Structure 1
Amino acid sequence: MMTPCTIASAPGKVLLAGGYLVLEQAFTGLVVGTSARFYTVIRPSSQASTTTPGTVTVLSPQFEQASWTYQAIATNEKLAFHSITTESQNKFVETCLKFSLDVILQRIGSHALNEKLAQGIEITIVGDNDFYSQRAQLEAKHLENNAESLASLDPFCKTHATLGSVHKTGLGSSAALTTSLVAALLLFFQVVGHELNKKEKTLIHNLAQFVHCFAQGKVGSGFDVSSAVWGSHRYKRFNPAILTPIMDEHVDAAILSKALDADNTEWDNEVAPFTLPPGLDLMLADIDAGSHTPTLVGKVLAWKKANPDEANALWNELGKYNSLVEHHFRQLTSLYHDDGEEYNTTIQTCAQLKCTEWETAVSGKVGKELVSLVHDFNHVRGLLQKMSELSGVPIEPKEQTHLLDTCTQVPGVVMSGVPGAGGYDAIFCIVLSNQSKHAVRKVWESWKDLSVGPLLSQADSNGVTSVSLLSVPGLADTLTSK
């Protein structure tokens, strides 16, 4: 019989608009959550009779050499926490455990914390297959790199790599992992309830932002953690000054807890819920070249600092057109609610035609909005290409441009682009029909200039959730096949 367990889940992300600009509070980003999710499972140790009280074992069964053990004991409202594992470290997991337990201790006290840890706990963390390239897995099974082959793989399949060597697909694995682990710990220690109301999610958000920034060694934009908590939304970042003073290994736990509290009004980030309009589907592909996002961002910011007038003019124009893209999406949703019949008819007509043909083929408000969306998103792409050229940073590399332009010529494709910071990580397309989706995948499969692999994720507006073990196919198997 399976031991009762606590499970939290958090989604990956795609930043459709706002790359680089989202670092500044003057601008916003439009981020879409994905159906690819991370899951953290916490349960009492399976070797409780032989486990030292306060032992925390963390397992990541998709990876090689991915087991870590820690000791956590509270005395006089102070936490003694250290790693027992010496051969390998996991900065994100260790940082998350240490600071989350500090915050939890401030809320429940030493006795309750030690009681929950008395027989030791076992934490298992897994991510959906889309977070990692499955090329090696497909090759080992002699399968083509296509959607059908990916769908045939077991859930949470092994990567045959270490955490340091795995090829990520750019869906925000570290933010989704951190958020799911923070949420699972707060759930397990009963600091939050399973319904996860707005105030509880705000605590998860603030704590996950701090942990993620600390593990990365800097205060980032935070949009990836924000989408892991809140799902799809328009994001305006928090003032970095909230976290800067507490980014200290030895920060006082009471000060940390107060700074991260859901009632702390210094947190000035803004979240406006968002969903793609009906009939518009998100498609994603992994490019087997990879980019190191912090390197790209660092180079762009260095160029911006060296050329402030040129850069600021470009950023302001980009900010304006990013907002227009969001506006068109929201208008389309509104038009669907105003007249669903006209909306669906227009979508069906456009799904049969290239986006360059829509202006002459369709009339009415829906057609006009779709044409404006295409126009303004193409302008965004043009500005990103200009930023690439001026900064010398491959935000939309020329090889990507060729691929994206080809995708956009497929009937029923609204837009194609590079998400987030760009580079060689991934591409996205937004399409109007299953037929369009199938045709785009055919382009990817036949592409020769880059190795393009489809991902199975779709847009999903849901953020962090508490889930049951049996509601997630394959999750129970990961707990028994260590």
Structure 2
Amino acid sequence: MNNSCSVVKAYGKVLVYGGYSVLEGGTGLVVNVDKGTTTKASFSDETEIIVAHIKDKDKLRFAESAVKAARGFLKSDKELKIESRNDEEMNPGSKAGFGSSATSTVSIVASILNLHGVDVVSEEGRRTVFQLSKEAHTEAQGKIGSGFDISAACFGTQFFSKDKIEKAAWPDDWRAVFAFSGKSASTTEFVKRVFGFKEANPEEYSRIMDEYNKTGLEIKSLYEEYVKESNDENLKALMQSIGKSYKIRKNLGVKANVEIETDDDTELLSGIRREGAMVAALPGAGGGDSLFMVCEGEENMKKIKEHLRQKELKVFDNIRVVDKPYEVLA
């Protein structure tokens, strides 16, 4: 018997390292944040899609693509009412980079399938939601993307590559700090321009990406070693490798004439690290959206937040790193 309604929440993401690399088969660490998108699906007399944070119907393409994918899988033409709402932190007046298009897509697909009696929390169900959501999201985004954000929403915090997904632990003593960089960035536009550089300079692009992907695998190995044995030597090696990864990404931006990380950004991030951050970055594709910092302990976290506020940057006090695949609420 069908449910009268279905409610699913999918959680946002941060790609700690591996932006652009994951598009070429490289590895990246993607973690969930505890904010996301909640979608309610119910049967109706006519199909209606309501996305609370979107007023322009032309921007409903992700939601519409998700509904189409779910219906296609179910081979159902039943009329549906879809009501989707982001947590406030997902869109703090501008694009924050926590993956709201992915969480919207996943929560819509999962809620529709759940409404029709599909067990979406089983291993098979999650794989189905992932595949449908990835296809829908890629279609709506113009055939661009690796699917790491969809994967995080479906399976939780992980090491992601196109060929393999491996669960990842977040160290207990690490604290994450988030702030709005003051500018938004178009991931799709950045990727197009990087791929333009790839087309024009294939050999140079290949050399950069080979080093980038190799560094990503090195980070994964060092990270897993640190999680098993968290000593200063392991931490130093890990942070050096992460720093190298971001330098390679910045160089890729310079070569592609894309402001992945400007010199002003580098100066800002270096200042944050001097205040006690082990990692300070414009994560994912870079260019803007949210700043992501990692430190050890509450005191360092307070110090970093105070520094950010002195720089007149908006700090997100109530966002945490979690390991949360989507969940069925009703």
TM bracket, shorter-chain basis: over 0.9
Determine whether 1:198 maps to 2:123. yes
Indicate if the aligned counterparts of 1:104 and 1:191 stay in contact, CA closer than 8 A: no
**Equivalent position amino acid for 1:378 in 2:** G
In structure 1, the partner of 2:108 is: 181
In structure 1, the partner of 2:83 is: 124
Determine whether 1:294 maps to 2:188. yes
Determine whether 1:224 maps to 2:149. yes
Say how many residue pairs are matched. 328
Q: Which residue of 95, 108, 118 corresponds with 2:65?
A: 95
In structure 2, the partner of 1:278 is: 172
SS where residue 320 of structure 2 aligns?
coil
- CA distance in 2 between counterparts of 1:392 and 1:43 reads 47
**Equivalent position amino acid for 2:175 in 1:** D
Q: Which residue of 305, 314, 323 corresponds with 1:461?
A: 323
Determine whether 1:440 maps to 2:327. no
Normalising by structure 2, report the TM-score.
0.92
Change (3 A) 1:300 1:398: same
**Equivalent position amino acid for 1:408 in 2:** R
- CA distance in 1 between counterparts of 2:302 and 2:63 reads 39
- CA distance in 1 between counterparts of 2:87 and 2:217 reads 31
SS where residue 290 of structure 1 aligns?
coil
Shift of 1:60: 2.5
Shift of 1:123: 2.2
In structure 1, the partner of 2:19 is: 19
- CA distance in 2 between counterparts of 1:436 and 1:272 reads 30
Indicate if the aligned counterparts of 2:4 and 2:115 stay in contact, CA closer than 8 A: no
- CA distance in 2 between counterparts of 1:288 and 1:274 reads 30
- Deviation readout 1:36-72 (Å, 9 max, x if unpaired): 1111112355xxxxxx4xx122222344467xxxxxx
Indicate if the aligned counterparts of 1:35 and 1:457 stay in contact, CA closer than 8 A: yes
Normalising by structure 1, report the TM-score.
0.64
Change (3 A) 1:294 1:280: same
In structure 2, the partner of 1:169 is: 96
- Deviation readout 1:401-452 (Å, 9 max, x if unpaired): 11110111113x211112111002222111111111111111111115xx54
**Equivalent position amino acid for 1:98 in 2:** K
Give runs of aligned pairs for residues 67-466 of structure 1, distance below 5 A: 90-105=60-75, 117=78, 121-134=80-93, 167-192=94-119, 196-237=121-162, 269-335=163-229, 343=230, 366-411=231-276, 413-447=277-311, 451-454=313-316, 456-466=318-328
- Deviation readout 1:303-343 (Å, 9 max, x if unpaired): 122222322222121212222222222112212xxxxxxx5
Shift of 1:204: 0.3
Change (3 A) 1:395 1:89: closer
SS where residue 184 of structure 1 aligns?
helix
SS where residue 126 of structure 2 aligns?
helix
Q: Which runs of 4+ in 1 moved over 6 A?
A: none
In structure 2, the partner of 1:39 is: 38
**Equivalent position amino acid for 2:50 in 1:** L
SS where residue 438 of structure 1 aligns?
helix
SS where residue 39 of structure 2 aligns?
strand
Structure 1's unaligned 5+ residue stretches are: 46-51, 67-87, 106-112, 135-166, 238-268, 336-342, 344-365, 469-482
- CA distance in 2 between counterparts of 1:227 and 1:216 reads 17
Task: State the Cα RMSD in Å.
Answer: 2.1
Determine whether 1:57 maps to 2:48. yes
Change (3 A) 1:303 1:44: closer
- Deviation readout 1:216-267 (Å, 9 max, x if unpaired): 2214211111111111111111xxxxxxxxxxxxxxxxxxxxxxxxxxxxxx
Identity of aligned residues (%): 23
- CA distance in 2 between counterparts of 1:89 and 1:19 reads 25
Indicate if the aligned counterparts of 1:281 and 1:430 stay in contact, CA closer than 8 A: yes
- Deviation readout 1:97-127 (Å, 9 max, x if unpaired): 223112112xxxxxxx57xx4xx64321011
Indicate if the aligned counterparts of 2:159 and 2:165 stay in contact, CA closer than 8 A: yes
Indicate if the aligned counterparts of 1:289 and 1:425 stay in contact, CA closer than 8 A: yes
Change (3 A) 1:389 1:93: closer
Task: Tell me which of the two structures has the higher relative contact order, counting C-alpha pairs closer than 8 angstroms and 6 or more residues apart.
Answer: 2
Shift of 1:283: 1.9
- CA distance in 2 between counterparts of 1:466 and 1:334 reads 32
Indicate if the aligned counterparts of 1:397 and 1:424 stay in contact, CA closer than 8 A: no
